[in-house]
Chain A
Amino acid sequence: EAQVTQNPRYLITVTGKKLTVTCSQNMNHEYMSWYRQDPGLGLRQIYYSMNVEVTDKGDVPEGYKVSRKEKRNFPLILESPSPNQTSLYFCASSLSSPRTEAFFGQGTRLTVV
């Protein structure tokens, strides 16, 4: 089944403790992206990747890192999480750039206390 898989689905952590949210897709897509969704602010793009070893900042990249060493994986890293990073995070992929249908993961609800 074609899908985008995020892990974990739920995470509660403490301020400053490094964490990684994994994202994997099995569709051989070139384009992958991370978003956060907050009430009243909607979905905002954090980082995106056009292909392996190619990443770029979205609208809200501060406090986040990403890497794209393999085509299928695009982890989101929070080196020192803060409470303002409490949010619902989505990973998405599409065949080539966003100019094709996007597939979204189920989301990761992160709480930083």
Chain B
Amino acid sequence: QVQLVESGGGLVKPGGSLRLSCAASGFTFSDYYMSWIRQAPGKGLELVSYISSSSSYANYADSGKGRFTISRDNAKNSLYLQMNSLRAEDTAVYYCARVGWVAAVFFDYWGQGTLVSVSS
């Protein structure tokens, strides 16, 4: 069965950095686009970024452009999100999610999320 397990969240000071990881199993990772979606406490969902299966293309929400970098290692079945210059408003649960179809970016499987808290 498809499993996505995030790690790397935690408490970080404003201006700090964090690298999130997502370990995937139960499907051919290299065949799928992958994404990061976040949810601030008590709020709705926001797409952060997604990346193509071969890493040739990445898309970012305006909120993370220039600060966040998505990447993947198909040999390790892993997805990453490097987050720099973190702000209080980046505080959220970050979900790793599989994109259902190429060029039809809905999310058919989600991990349980990892909490990122940005506070001094």
A-B interaction: no
Q: Give A residues with C-beta under 8 Å from B.
A: none
Q: Give B residues with C-beta under 8 Å from A.
A: none
